[in-house]
Chain A
C-alpha cells in the first residue's frame, strides 16, 4: 500500500495536480493508496477520489510512504512502522529554502532509511552527484511507476 504525504493540496503547485491525478488513477489499479494531508483547498481543480487521512496518521502507517515535500520529509525520521520511505525530489528546490542548512539536507537526503525518487534522468544524475543515486525515476507522479514501486518494495 502506498501513502502519499503532503502538507496541503492547492492549485498553485503542478505537483499537487499530478499527484492527485495519479492517486485517482490508482483507485482503478490493484495498488491501494491513500493521501495524508492536512488541507485541501476548496477550489482545488480535481476531485480527490482516494482515502484522505490526517497527516499525523503516517506515524501508524505500515505501507510505503512517499512525499514530494522536502521540509515535510523530516516526519519520515519518526515513522518507525513504515515499510519504506521515499522522498520524491520533484522540484530541485533546496537552494530556495530560507536559511537552509546542510545538516537538514543530510538528515533526509543522505539518510539510509530514506530512498530518493527523481523526476527525470537529468535530475537523477544531479541528485546522484550531490546526494545518492535515486532508486526510481518517476515523471510527474506517473501512476505506473507508483504501481511498480508497490510491486517491487
Chain B
C-alpha cells in the first residue's frame, strides 16, 4: 500500500509518517514523504498515484479539483477547514479542537491532541553529558519577557539546560537539537518544565516528571514562579511523590496517548483493519 504524505511544516504529518515507517515491513506499507515544492499533485497521479494520500487544507486547490475529476483516490485531510462543495470528500479529517466545528456534520473527524512521539524517543538513553536537574525545550515557544523571567529564575535556582529552536540569550541555552539528542536530553534530566504542552507526553513515556505551564490534563501545572518552585522542589526531593507521579503519567501515556494510538484510530476509522492491527500490535510491543 503506497501512502504519500506531504513534507510540509505540519507536525502531525511527520508524527503519523514516523509511525507508519516503523511498521512498514510487517504491514507491507510504502509510506513516502512527498516534496510538494518539487512535485505538484497532478504529477503524483501521472506517475501512478498512491493508494492513500494525506493532504493539507492548503492543497485543496485547482489541481485537486482536476485530480478529483480524473482519478480515483482516497485521501486524509489535515487542516482547519474544507472548501464548500468540495469535489471529493476525505476519508478522514484530522483537525484540532478549535477547528472541528468548521467541518460538515457527519464528517469522519479525528481530533488531534498532543501525545507522546514514541517513534522519535523510544530509544532514549541517559547521557551524563546531557545531565541536568531541570530541562526546558524552547521549540514552539515564544520567548516573551515573562518566559525569559521564568527561565532566568530556573537558571538561578537549579542546574538547568535549555535546548530548542527558539534562542534564549542565557548561557544555559545549548542550541537546537535533533530528535535523538532531544530524547537523550529528556532521559538525562531529573525534571522537565514544559512550555509547549507537548514535551510532557514524551517525558511521561520516558518516566521523567514534567511540570506544564499551560493547563494540561493529567499533568502538574503551575500558575506562577512560586508555584513552579514548590512543585519542582517536591519532584526533585520527595522520592515517593516523584515515583507516584511518574507512574501515573506513564499509565496515562499508555492509555491511548501516543501518536501510534492516533494512527491506529485513523486507519481503524477507515476500515483498514490490517494496518490498524499492525499499529496496535506495535504499540503493545512498545508499552508492554
Q: What residues make up the interface of A, taking CB atoms closer than 8 Å to B?
A: 92, 94-96, 99-106, 110, 126, 129-131
Give the interface residue-count category, chain B. 10 to 19
**Are A96's CB and B169's CB within 8 A?**
yes
Q: What residues make up the interface of B, taking CB atoms closer than 8 Å to A?
A: 129, 159, 161, 163, 167-178, 181
**Are B169's CB and A94's CB within 8 A?**
no
B194 CB to nearest chain A CB (Å): 19
Q: Give Cα A92–Cα B177 distance, bound, in whole angstroms.
A: 20
**Are B174's CB and A130's CB within 8 A?**
yes
**Are B175's CB and A94's CB within 8 A?**
yes
Q: Give Cα A105–Cα B181 distance, bound, in whole angstroms.
A: 12
The answer to whether residues A101 and B159 also contact, given A95-B168, A95-B170, A110-B129 and a CB cut-off of 8 A, is no
Q: Give Cα A96–Cα B175 distance, bound, in whole angstroms.
A: 10
A47 CB to nearest chain B CB (Å): 35
The answer to whether residues A100 and B171 also contact, given A106-B129, A130-B161 and a CB cut-off of 8 A, is no
Kindly report which residue of chain B lies nearest to residue A100, judged by CB atoms: B175
**A131 to chain B: which residues have CB within 8 Å?**
129
Q: Give Cα A38–Cα B170 distance, bound, in whole angstroms.
A: 31
Q: Give Cα A110–Cα B171 distance, bound, in whole angstroms.
A: 16
The answer to whether residues A102 and B171 also contact, given A110-B129, A129-B159, A130-B161 and a CB cut-off of 8 A, is no
**Are B169's CB and A103's CB within 8 A?**
no
The answer to whether residues A105 and B175 also contact, given A95-B170, A110-B129 and a CB cut-off of 8 A, is yes
**B174 to chain A: which residues have CB within 8 Å?**
94, 102, 105, 130
**Are A102's CB and B169's CB within 8 A?**
no
The DSSP consensus for interface residues of chain A is helix
**Are B167's CB and A102's CB within 8 A?**
no
B197 CB to nearest chain A CB (Å): 23
The answer to whether residues A101 and B171 also contact, given A106-B129, A129-B159 and a CB cut-off of 8 A, is no
The 8 Å CB contact of B175, one of A92, A102, A110, A129, is: A102
The 8 Å CB contact of B177, one of A102, A110, A126, is: A102
Kindly report which residue of chain B lies nearest to residue A98, judged by CB atoms: B167
Q: Give Cα A102–Cα B159 distance, bound, in whole angstroms.
A: 17
Q: Give Cα A106–Cα B175 distance, bound, in whole angstroms.
A: 10
The 8 Å CB contact of A95, one of B129, B161, B171, B181, is: B171
Q: Give Cα A92–Cα B175 distance, bound, in whole angstroms.
A: 14
**B159 to chain A: which residues have CB within 8 Å?**
129
Q: Give Cα A100–Cα B162 distance, bound, in whole angstroms.
A: 13
**B172 to chain A: which residues have CB within 8 Å?**
130
**Are A130's CB and B176's CB within 8 A?**
no
